[in-house]
Amino acid sequence: MTIDLAPFKNLIKQRCGLILEGLGEEKLATVLAQRLIVTKFGNSAEYYFHLQGNSDEFQELINLLTINETYFFREVEQLHLLTERLVPRLLMQREDNQPLRILSAGCSSGEEPFSLVMALREKYGDDVSSLFSFVGGDIDTLALAKARSGCYNEFSFRGVATEIKARYFDYDGWAYRLKDEIRNRVEFQEMNLFAEEFPAALHGCDIIFFRNVSIYFDTPTRRIIQQNLASLLKENGYLVIGTAETIANDLGVLPLVEEDGLFYFSKGQPSAFVPATAPVFDFSRYVVSKVDVPGQCDMAEHPFVRCSPPVVAPSLPIAEHVASVAASSDPCFSIDEVQQYCREKRYEEAMALIVILLEQNPGDASSLLLKAHIQLNRKEFELAEASARQALQADPWSIDAFVLLGLAAKWRDLVKEAVRWFKQAVYARHECWLARYYLADLYRAGGESDKARREYRGVLQLLSQTTVPDHGIKVLPLAVVHSELRFLCEHQIGKLGDQQRIARRK
């Protein structure tokens, strides 16, 4: 049975602002087919009529349609901005002794608001309960129920440092349970960002985190939502939007500010610069990098060490450049420019250009690969995987895509899958020494010493040639220093040899 999706799409857009196109549309068709069976309506017209007047059924549908992808300490550099810049400044300015109110708007299953609590708990210790109050709001009532339970599986962590997990969670053999001292700090609240009115608990916020939500709305809807969020902010409050989305949300509602290489919106004029206060939030303590080849994936290094006063963004040439490219009817820039931004780890700018390129040509493999590269660096593994797979549709022999898929699997400890992708890269191009290096690492970690040694030797042999053979990676901005990789291979071969000798002696 084919369902006419148009009335459903309109109703959802009208009530919640959500745009369902492409994959969203496919999901809608699947979800509607499910609901027709469950509710036993004979046809979609009858179901539509019922849906219009029944808020419980509408909620069921929305719960099935939302995308709740989230994890702890996502975009950790923005948490650094929170603890080292925004919060100290607001605490200094506050005239009453009221706690600062922090809202995570579109909080999904709670990983974001709980990360805010943990980051501030690390900095302010027990005072966190008197200094701050936290609210998490979302339209998805099932996600909110999960948030209230405070129970998570491995998937919500993705690289969170072991000490942090141990400090704030209890593992019961099935799930990680957030300790009550953190769980009880956040009040969860149903919230439709597109609503005309908001519950009292959401008003009077000092800081709002609104990350990875705006991508589901079109520009006019984003503007309305941003106006709504601005109305929930106190004067001089801050709105933090996901780094890749900020420029697309610079809609003239609130002034955009740049500080330490990061962007946020400020209600009122950006206030005086407050230097970082000790103890400094060291985000390398919160997330760990599993990647050890220099230059390939660089999450452990963060460029946000500059101490500069806040800058209202229009004075920034790069932001201006990207904004003007976005506004132009005939954007003129090349993929090299995007690669250059990636090399400089200016992912926000790179992503803004990629969005434009993909709007013009949705199947463009190079843009998709660079998108996957950025997503991987942001630990958005499923998204990275999806982008790399899309790139494979355009170029089924893309070595870049095989390597990206291998890395996305490796970082999630999906060892067999990672091996399969790296092997695929080597099958497609024997000289792909980077894929062989990763294969060697995976074999070594899995105790397959002979295979590991063979691959490390293969990499050494390729890298020792007078002209190092082309590895076949065409788009990814690699910065691997051959001598360093050779050193790593020699070092690992040496270690494997020592282990073998010790084993023989025993």
Cα–Cα distance between 46 and 62 in angstroms, integer? Answer: 18
70 lies in the site for ligand SAM, by CB under 6 A: yes
Question: Which residue in 12, 17, 270, 385 binds ligand SAM (CB under 6 A)?
Answer: 17
395's CB contacts (< 8 A; 6+ apart) are: 365, 401
Q: Which of 74, 185, 371, 444 binds ligand SAM (CB under 6 A)?
A: 74
Q: How far apart are the first and last CA of the chain?
A: 69
| Site size with ligand SAM, rule: CB under 6 A | 25
Cβ neighbourhood burial of 282 (10 Å; 0-12, 13-18, 19+): exposed
Residue with Cβ nearer ligand SAM (216 or 456): 216
The closest of 114, 135, 252 to 205, measured between CA atoms, is: 135
Among residue numbers 376 through 435, which ones bind ligand SAM (CB under 6 A)?
none
Q: Which stretch binds ligand SAM (CB under 6 A): 11-19, 22-30, 254-262, 426-434?
A: 11-19
Amino acid residing at 420: R
Write out the E strands in 155-312.
169-171, 176-178, 186-190, 205-210, 233-241, 256-259, 262-266, 311-312
Question: 75 exposed, middle or buried (CB, 10 Å; 0-12, 13-18, 19+)?
Answer: buried
Q: Which of residues 30 and 308 has its CB atom nearest to ligand SAM in the complex?
A: 30
The only residue of 31, 135, 143, 407 in contact with ligand SAM, by rule CB under 6 A: 143
Contact mark string toward ligand SAM, 75..94, x via CB under 6 A: --------------------
- CB 500, min distance to ligand SAM, A: 45
Amino acid at position 359, single letter: E
> For residues 213 and 372, which CB has a smaller minimum distance to ligand SAM in the complex?
213
Binding map of ligand SAM across residues 108-127, x = CB under 6 A, - = no contact: x---x---------------
Q: Which two tokens stand for residue 137?
A: 């709001």
To the nearest whole angstrom, how small is the minimum distance from the Cβ of residue 428 to ligand SAM?
Answer: 33
One-letter amino acid at 98 equals: Q
**Binding-site member from 64, 67, 326, 478 for ligand SAM (CB under 6 A):** 67
Rank residues 194 and 304 by Cβ distance to ligand SAM and give the closer one.
194
Nearest to 111 by CA among 171, 172, 165: 165
By CB neighbour count within 10 A (0-12 exposed, 13-18 middle, 19+ buried), where does 396 fall? exposed
| Nearest residue (CB) to ligand SAM, 213 versus 440 | 213
| Chosen residue from 12, 18, 244, 460 binding ligand SAM by CB under 6 A | 18
Rg from Cα positions in the chain: 24
What residues does 135 pair with on adjacent strands?
Answer: 103, 187
Residues 216-255: x/- map of binding to ligand SAM (CB under 6 A)?
Answer: x---------------------------------------
With binding defined as CB under 6 A, does residue 348 bind ligand SAM?
no
Structure tokens, 243? 């780094």
Residues 59, 68, 129, 277: which binds ligand SAM (CB under 6 A)?
68
Task: Out of 102, 120, 139, 147, point to the residue binding ligand SAM (CB under 6 A).
Answer: 139
- Interface pick for ligand SAM out of 138, 258, 364, 380 (rule CB under 6 A): 138
- From the list 208, 241, 200, the residue with the least C-alpha distance to 102 is 208
The Cα–Cα gap between 297 and 406 comes to 13
d(CA 424, CA 397): 9
Distance CA 210, CA 207 (A): 10
Please say which residue, 283 or 456, places its beta carbon nearer to ligand SAM: 283
Quote the least distance from Cβ 227 to ligand SAM, whole Å: 14
Inter-residue contact 371 to 387 (CB < 8 Å): yes
Task: Give the residue with the Cβ less far from ligand SAM, 265 or 422.
Answer: 265
Nearer to ligand SAM by Cβ, of 141 and 500: the residue is 141
Interactions with ligand SAM, residue window 160-219 (CB under 6 A) = 191-194, 211-213, 216
Closest CA to 84 of 240, 229, 280: 280
Nearer to ligand SAM, 243 or 390 (CB): 243
CB of 412 to ligand SAM, least distance (A): 17
Stretch that binds ligand SAM, among 133-141, 423-431, 435-443, 489-497 (CB under 6 A): 133-141
Report the nearest approach of ligand SAM to the CB of residue 324 (Å): 28
Q: How far apart are CA 92 and CA 419, in angstroms?
A: 52
CA distance 238 to 249: 14
Give dist(CA 61, CA 117) in Å, integer: 31
Residue given tokens 């550099």 in the structure block: 77
Q: Considering only the stretches 100-108, 296-304, 322-330, 357-365, report the one whose residues sit in contact with ligand SAM under the rule CB under 6 A.
A: 100-108
**60 scored as a contact of ligand SAM (CB under 6 A):** no
In the complex, the residues that contact ligand SAM under the rule CB under 6 A are: 16-18, 66-70, 74, 106-108, 112, 138-140, 143, 191-194, 211-213, 216
